[in-house]
Structure 1
Amino acid sequence: MSILGVDYGAKKIGIAKADPTGGPAVPLTTLIVANQKEGIERLQQLIASEGVELLVVGVPVSLSQSGAELLRDKDHLNKQMQEVLQFVERLKNTVTIPVELEDERLSTKLANGMQKELVKINGDDAVAAMVILQSYLDRKKL
């Protein structure tokens, strides 16, 4: 079983993986997609092949502890945020595992500042997903 971190983009979706029993998040792959539907289909394939029990999706705002405050303010958010939330809602309606949100602000900037070899091998989107997932793991103490 594993946890996947997701850095959503309209064309590229960064994916990272972690074992829920311990260990750090690691970059897994970057999905190149034409649209949200394809992104969700490809994520479903990964969920099945990797034995995923939880998805953590990065969102570009600060979250309340439960994330509920963020969802209530949906109409006042920028276009990027609305697109990410639309993706999350479609994902929640499609997959059978829990989907949690994690603040992704600065994840790509942090990823770009990390060891150049890590970014070169895995791509900045997968490394950004790793930063998002590790932030979630650290916050939850998993």
Structure 2
Amino acid sequence: MRIMGLDYGDRRIGVAVSDELGWTAQGVGVVETSRSGREFDRLADLAREHEATEIVVGLPKNMNGTVGPRGEICIAFAQTLREKLQLPVHLWDERLTTVSAERTLLEADVSRKKRKLVIDKMAAALILQNYLDAKSKR
């Protein structure tokens, strides 16, 4: 049972998957978004390829816990994903995950150009890892 984690953005969607036991998350790539909606086909391919049985989508909340316009977009994306892939889709609070990913890459002295290439999949891995950790504590 693998879980796929997504960091949804306007241009790119970071993708991560869990190990079979659901303990660790690894970034696997980035899917470019398009007006035609081809990203859903690519995400379906990745879900099949990695044998994902459920999906976690990062939900950007405001610091006070409310859901703003960006969060509403992610909720709509998650609903469409649920309908198209016919898999359970969970929303997970992703506050500060991109900031955390950026900080980690800066501390590792990764160049700006390389950071841009991996930041989305790293944020997806952080979202998924946070979800897995919370799930294991229940």
What TM bracket, shorter-length normalisation? Answer: 0.7 to 0.9
Partner of 2:12: 12
Distance (whole Å) between structure 1 residues aligned to residue 101 and residue 58 of structure 2: 13
Alignment partner of 2:126 out of 122, 131, 134: 131
Q: Percent identity between the aligned chains?
A: 32
Tell whether the 8 Å contact from 2:14 to 2:123 is kept in structure 1 after alignment. Answer: yes
Counterpart amino acid of residue 114 in structure 1? T
TM-score, normalised with respect to structure 2:
0.82
Runs of 4+ in 1 over 4 A off after TM superposition: none
Distance (Å, rounded) in 1 between the aligned partners of 2:35 and 2:13: 11
Maintained 8 Å contact 1:17/1:130: yes
What displacement does 1:22 show?
Answer: 4.2
Structure 2: stretches of 5+ with no match in the other structure: none
Q: Distance in 1 between matches of 2:39 and 2:58?
A: 15
Q: 2:96 aligns with which of 96, 106, 118?
A: 106
Unmatched 5+ stretches in structure 1: 63-69, 71-75
Q: Quick one: distance in 2 between partners of 1:21 and 1:8?
A: 24
Spell out the pairing of 1:51-62 with structure 2 (5 A cutoff): 51-61=51-61
For residues 20 and 131 of structure 2, the distance between their equivalents in structure 1, rounded to whole angstroms, comes to 11
Q: Is the 8 A contact 1:107 1:131 kept in 2?
A: yes
